[in-house]
Structure 1
């Protein structure tokens, strides 16, 4: 297969992080726009990016992009694309759609037009009149923005936040992709202690452990494109072998998750076992007021309750105060707290060094960032040798 254009969809505010991940995988021609990171690559990128992207929502093949202000333009533009290069005659190819600020505002009508255009193109290629759609899934999407139609095929299947370890859910769970983004923004590394004092079902500590040990987040799940005959199985085999070779399962970690709710901690423990990280994360059943934050150069990353329900508001405000009182005594701690509570800084007792707007689902939040002292850099082993040689 020749070069393809791929789109990694990104939650609002995380486009730069997704772009950095794509570049770290070795893809250089990267373009960033609202909610998406676009880049050109070969077929191996479909496997590698699905396995490795921690903060993207999905990976799409971009089939084409064109102006469409009428249904005729949408039909002809879609039909002109190279569908037989991708879609075999037995494929299942449903069409999803969305439209913003476009003359073609009826999404169901746009979906129907795109489906009809693809069928007509495939009829010509395969010389058949009816498609059973019993084979591999090729989910097509038509996205209209300001009268520009972007046509894609989803390679991921279920969203990339579905790592496979979280089979059960607690109330208001944090998406795995957002949890990974919070760890990324903290710049934590496995040489530093990591604490989540409101860990809930364990998502943030698990994502930190996977980052610390360089475990590909898609290692234990499947993707739609694995069943596409256009991508040889050898491509997926090589990508998975690369992920296994790069994992560092023996890296020692000091990761602590704590929560006041013993029941939700049992769920966290289950998820940790499912992720095969049992020895890398310690759980504690403690309120934040009973915790000890004396770890030198530790990093706290947490998504505490927001206090949106009246009955829990005072408890949440007290927990914010306790967290601030205990952490502000240690100037080597770095603290990153995601919450929609606009009074957080007041209760915490300190203005954040930085704030970043993020969305937890549809809830607008701020990531409050308190930057502690960085650990001293280890001495360069070759410094003395260099001086002697000179």
Structure 2
């Protein structure tokens, strides 16, 4: 029987429930706290989470959790943990830290103590007094909250928002994980049209296209364009993700495949594939957005007007947007992320629902206008 580990999937404030649903779709039970979602599973769960979560920023492996209010106790309990099971003799293991409402409030001292304790533990295991730390990085975090210490290893590397397709940035790029969450908070179906009138570098439409077809399918089409693989049903994708018995060999090979694709710069090909087949870009003034037959969803992250020189222009944009939506998109659902508290007044309608979210450090509201039901 494979060993069970505890993991933490970090989440932007306000999106914990979305991350939890994604983890549950993989077949794991969750426990939600502010800014994080915890779950348990075998080592395959860590790999699955890093591959398939669209809205979490990182997946951390919990090494230990304990109460502590002295540096001596922090040292001894940290040293007692099985670090050798995760850090090889050549591994690099920097220590980050944070402390909230705890007796041990000096973060730098906590980092130093934890580092020293891990080194002492590894000395006993590997029978050597010095570690070069020239190999892969195992980033460790000591997090203290009300004298409860949680020690974790980051398993995601650069971060899950770095998908590999973004080479150029707009002036105010939307984080990929937040873009995916904005889409998941809508009532959009994969067979509907999704429009972003303020797409910038295209993050929202690209994330929507990636949801339509799994990354595994996209990579298969890139490597084997004539293989004849069609779309999987949504049920089939869900079933695949819930398979707990996926072999380590298959998953490891797929992770190597992702690295090879990046090394060969084929992620650029993936973006080209998505753009040519699934995404269309055009330029238009807000008050001249082209009408589209049928029902669909508008999802957008327009300018906020936080600077005084932009405020008047943004007010005009919001007003024109509301007028054009009522003219050409009356049967569509509309979702708008903005920090402008006057949005509903300028748009000309009260939202069906609002949700507080954070775009980086900016406090925003996600205004949701649900389409009228067909009679």
CA pair 122-344 structure 1, distance change in 2 beyond 3 A: same
- SS of alignment partner, residue 143 of structure 1: strand
User: What is the aligned partner in structure 1 of residue 42 from structure 2?
Assistant: 42
- SS of alignment partner, residue 185 of structure 2: helix
Is the 8 Å Cα contact of residues 297 and 375 (structure 1) preserved in structure 2?
no
- SS of alignment partner, residue 65 of structure 2: strand
What's the offset of the Cα at 1:239?
6.6
Higher mean displacement: 14-23 or 272-281: 272-281
User: What is the aligned partner in structure 1 of residue 253 from structure 2?
Assistant: 237
Which residues in structure 2 correspond to 1:1-390 (within 5 Å)? 2-27=3-28, 29-215=29-215, 235-237=251-253, 273=271, 276-329=274-327, 330-373=329-372
What's the offset of the Cα at 1:215?
3.1
Q: Distance in 2 between matches of 1:102 and 1:93?
A: 24
What are the Cα deviations for residues 184-233 of structure 1, in whole angstroms up to 9, with x where unaligned? Answer: 0012112111110011111011111111223369979xxxxxxxxxx966
What's the offset of the Cα at 1:274?
5.3
Q: Distance in 2 between matches of 1:293 and 1:6?
A: 46
CA pair 176-142 structure 1, distance change in 2 beyond 3 A: same
Q: Which runs of 4+ in 1 moved over 4 A?
A: 216-220, 231-234, 238-242
Report how many residues are paired: 338
Is the 8 Å Cα contact of residues 218 and 270 (structure 2) preserved in structure 1?
no
TM-score (norm 2): 0.85
TM-score (norm 1): 0.82
What's the offset of the Cα at 1:62?
0.4
The root-mean-square deviation of aligned C-alpha atoms, in Å, is: 2.4
User: What is the aligned partner in structure 1 of residue 227 from structure 2?
Assistant: none
Structure 1 unaligned spans of 5+: 221-230, 243-269, 377-390
What are the Cα deviations for residues 139-184 of structure 1, in whole angstroms up to 9, with x where unaligned? Answer: 1000111111100000110010000001221111110000000000
Structure 2 unaligned spans of 5+: 221-246, 259-267
What's the offset of the Cα at 1:372?
0.2
Is the 8 Å Cα contact of residues 4 and 40 (structure 1) preserved in structure 2?
yes
- SS of alignment partner, residue 97 of structure 1: strand
Q: Distance in 1 between matches of 2:321 and 2:286?
A: 6
CA pair 107-375 structure 1, distance change in 2 beyond 3 A: farther
User: What is the aligned partner in structure 2 of residue 228 from structure 1?
Assistant: none
CA pair 285-326 structure 1, distance change in 2 beyond 3 A: same
